[in-house]
């Protein structure tokens, strides 16, 4: 970032200190920040709120983004290649997952700029920071759950397509069974992963024991993963507060540097709900299970997949080929589809690819390719599942009625329907940041129109469900997308029984 204009950062003392490499000033600013207590000592909701106020004050100073490109001070330190400033910011508790205007976190910038030393500093600190954040939220989460009614519900998701009618047989699908009692939560599922056209099944459960175990051996706030076939139980938070070893940091940074970075996301910031109307111009209603619901279209929803070149990493084509050229996957696909259905699938996928390549001949992002599920970045980062993923960075009674409360999620692909008002776009842009060889960015955007069935009679409110989704969202990708949709402003007193 040669020739940086210091005047553009003058209003932000932290940015200015980093831009001018004034470590004495930066050290003074950090020293004046509130001091957070030991995370293990946060046990009450009052303590939780007090610590959260301190964390907000720290973030206001060292995570501000009111500068060009919406770069945090950590972004700026990364782009300047300043390891000293990076270390000082991470020790102070900087949020590495915040995105700049281009949608990249400071860690992603470090990986793409081949700043391995800086990437290692961030990786070394981010798990203890995530653990501290989890501990700050835990008493409030437990308190909220205790005040909620107990319930059992099912969340079913599957894919439907007007283009590929048999897509529901090869796309991932599952039914999540969720029990909530007191401050305890259990979620059962059967899908462990989805890679290529191979659905990996595993009968497993996630247990959140907000009240701890009855015998007192498991402390309050424990998160456990249970694999029923192997009869194994794992404490998902075991060692979460400990810093990673040098070898673990080295391996993690090396793994991130082997492939290009992909960031799938769904933007609902401009979303608007409009009711569907019957031919009599009356609002349309349908029954979903035993619930009477009004049907709404959600406009201005954009799904995007952004990729960025990591110097020295394998190409996108090589990456997709490695995901696709698996004989086991092909054999399983042959078992699922008839020859005619396989031909239809191939034609549909090639048609999508030709649309993209006609708009940009420099490369194709196969936006339906399941490899993106494997490489999914929390809209923050593209790491495989780790303890820090389980800690989560999501924003954050009466007796249950008998019977099952069911919520169905049907993801409809409206790619070919004329009612999609926004055409697909494929954008290539040059980074304005400090660039090294091959730092090209590509982005594919597609306007979607989800359909929501909203019921005023469902016994749960959306606000009650969100704390539970916070626990599951960073482990279960379908829940993560559902949570993003549910944070959209919905009509008061309604619950989405089907999406």
- Sequential DSSP letters for 62-100: HS---SGGG--HHHHHHHTT-HHHHHHHHHHT--TT---
What strands, in cross-sheet order, belong to the sheet with 441-448? 261-267, 301-308, 441-448, 425-429
Q: Cα-flanking dihedrals φ and ψ of residue 134, to 5°? A: -60, -45
In a domain, 248, yes or no: no
In a domain, 179, yes or no: yes
pLDDT score for 316: 61
**Share of residues in the chain with pLDDT > 90 (%):** 28
For 273-315, what is each residue's pLDDT tens digit? Answer: 899 999 999 999 999 888 899 999 888 888 777 888 888 776 6
Average pLDDT, the chain: 74
In a domain, 1, yes or no: no
Same domain, 460 and 426: yes
Domain span including residue 182: 149-235
Q: What DSSP character marks residue 53? A: H
How many domains is the chain built from?
Answer: 3
Same domain, 308 and 198: no
**Mean local confidence (pLDDT), 218-235:** 85
Same domain, 326 and 204: no
Same domain, 97 and 36: yes
Residue 275 burial class via C-beta count within 10 angstroms: exposed 0-12, middle 13-18, buried 19 and up: middle
**Share of residues in the chain with pLDDT > 70 (%):** 66
Strands (E) in 250-315, as ranges, are: 261-267, 272-275, 285-288, 291-299, 301-308
Choosing from 180, 203, 235, the residue where a domain stops is 235
Structure tokens at 342: 């396989």
* C-alpha 32 chain-centroid distance: 33
Same domain, 323 and 443: yes
Residue 256 to residue 125: CA distance in whole angstroms: 16
For 22-55, what is each residue's pLDDT tens digit? Answer: 999 999 999 999 999 999 899 999 999 999 999 9
Which domain CATH number covers 21? 1.25.40.20
Same domain, 182 and 220: yes
pLDDT score for 189: 81
For 112-139, what is each residue's pLDDT tens digit? Answer: 989 999 999 999 998 899 999 999 999 9
- Backbone conformation region of residue 381, classed left if phi is above 0, alpha if psi is from -120 to 50, else beta: beta
Residue 323 to residue 431: CA distance in whole angstroms: 28
What band does 338 get if pLDDT is binned at 50, 70 and 90? low
Q: Report DSSP letters for 146-211, one per residue.
A: HHSPPEEEEEEEEEEESS-TTHHHHS--EEEEEEEETTEEEEEEEEEEEETTEEEEEEEEEEEETT
In a domain, 243, yes or no: no
- 156 or 25, which is more confident: 25
Residue 337 burial class via C-beta count within 10 angstroms: exposed 0-12, middle 13-18, buried 19 and up: middle
- 386 or 91, which is more confident: 91
Residue 263 to residue 175: CA distance in whole angstroms: 26
Same domain, 185 and 217: yes
| Alpha-carbon dihedral angle through residues 309, 315, 320, 324, given to the nearest 10 degrees | -160
pLDDT score for 466: 81
In a domain, 244, yes or no: no
Same domain, 300 and 378: yes
Q: What DSSP character marks residue 1? A: -
What band does 257 get if pLDDT is binned at 50, 70 and 90? confident
pLDDT score for 270: 84
In sequence order, the 6+-apart residues with CB closer than 8 A to the CB of 250 are 120
Is residue 470 within 8 Å of residue 141, measured between CB atoms? Answer: yes
Structure tokens at 486: 């549910």
For 390-431, what is each residue's pLDDT tens digit? Answer: 444 433 333 333 333 444 433 344 343 444 443 333 333 333
Is residue 146 within 8 Å of residue 183, measured between CB atoms? Answer: yes
Count the neighbouring beta carbons within 10 Å of the beta carbon of residue 101.
12
Same domain, 383 and 279: yes
Same domain, 161 and 94: no
> Most confidently modeled of 328-342, 350-364, 446-460?
446-460
Q: Cα-flanking dihedrals φ and ψ of residue 16, to 5°? A: -65, -40
């Amino acid at each position: 970032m040669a020739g940086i204009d210091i005047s553009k950062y003058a209003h932000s003392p932290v940015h200015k200190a980093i831009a001018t490499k004034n470590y004495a000033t930066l050290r003074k600013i950090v020293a004046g920040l509130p001091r957070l207590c030991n995370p293990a000592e946060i046990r009450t909701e009052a303590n939780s709120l007090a610590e959260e106020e301190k964390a907000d004050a720290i973030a206001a100073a060292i995570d501000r983004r009111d500068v060009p490109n919406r770069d945090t001070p950590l972004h700026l330190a990364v782009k300047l290649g300043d390891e000293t400033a990076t270390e000082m910011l991470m020790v102070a508790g900087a949020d590495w997952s915040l995105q700049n205007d281009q949608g990249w976190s400071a860690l992603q910038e470090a990986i793409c700029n081949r700043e391995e030393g800086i990437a290692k500093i961030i990786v070394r600190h981010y798990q203890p920071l995530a653990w501290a954040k989890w501990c700050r939220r835990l008493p409030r989460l437990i308190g909220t759950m205790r005040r909620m009614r107990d319930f059992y519900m099912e969340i079913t998701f599957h894919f439907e397509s007007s283009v590929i009618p048999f897509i529901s047989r090869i796309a991932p699908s599952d039914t999540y069974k969720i029990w909530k009692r007191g401050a305890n939560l259990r979620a059962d599922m059967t899908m462990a992963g989805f890679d290529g056209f191979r659905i990996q099944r595993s009968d497993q459960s996630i247990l959140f024991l907000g009240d701890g175990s009855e015998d007192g051996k498991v402390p309050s706030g424990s998160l456990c993963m249970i694999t029923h076939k192997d009869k194994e139980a794992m404490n998902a938070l075991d060692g979460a507060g400990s810093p990673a070893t040098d070898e673990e940091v080295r391996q993690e940074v090396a793994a991130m540097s082997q492939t290009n970075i992909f960031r799938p996301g769904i933007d609902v910031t401009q979303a608007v709900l409009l009711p569907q109307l019957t031919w009599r111009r009356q609002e349309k209603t349908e029954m979903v299970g035993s619930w009477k619901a009004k049907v709404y279209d959600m406009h201005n929803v954009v799904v995007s997949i952004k990729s960025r070149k990591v110097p020295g990493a394998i190409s996108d084509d090589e990456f997709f080929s490695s995901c696709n050229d698996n004989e086991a996957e092909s054999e399983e696909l042959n078992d699922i589809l008839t020859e005619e259905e396989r031909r239809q699938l191939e034609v549909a996928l090639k048609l999508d690819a030709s649309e993209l390549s006609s708009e940009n001949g420099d490369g194709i992002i196969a936006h339906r390719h399941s490899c993106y599920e494997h490489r999914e970045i929390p809209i923050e980062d593209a790491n495989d599942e780790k303890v820090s993923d389980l800690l989560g960075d999501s924003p954050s009674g009466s007796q249950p009625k008998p019977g099952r409360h069911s919520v169905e999620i049907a993801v409809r692909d409206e790619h070919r329907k004329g009612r999609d008002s926004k055409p697909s776009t494929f954008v290539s842009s040059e980074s304005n940041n400090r660039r090294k060889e091959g730092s090209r960015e590509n982005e594919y955007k597609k306007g979607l129109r989800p359909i929501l069935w909203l019921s005023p009679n469902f016994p749960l409110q959306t606000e009650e469900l969100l704390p539970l989704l916070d626990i599951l969202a960073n482990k279960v990708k379908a829940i993560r997308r559902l949570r993003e949709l549910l944070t959209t402003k919905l009509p008061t007193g309604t619950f989405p029984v089907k999406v």
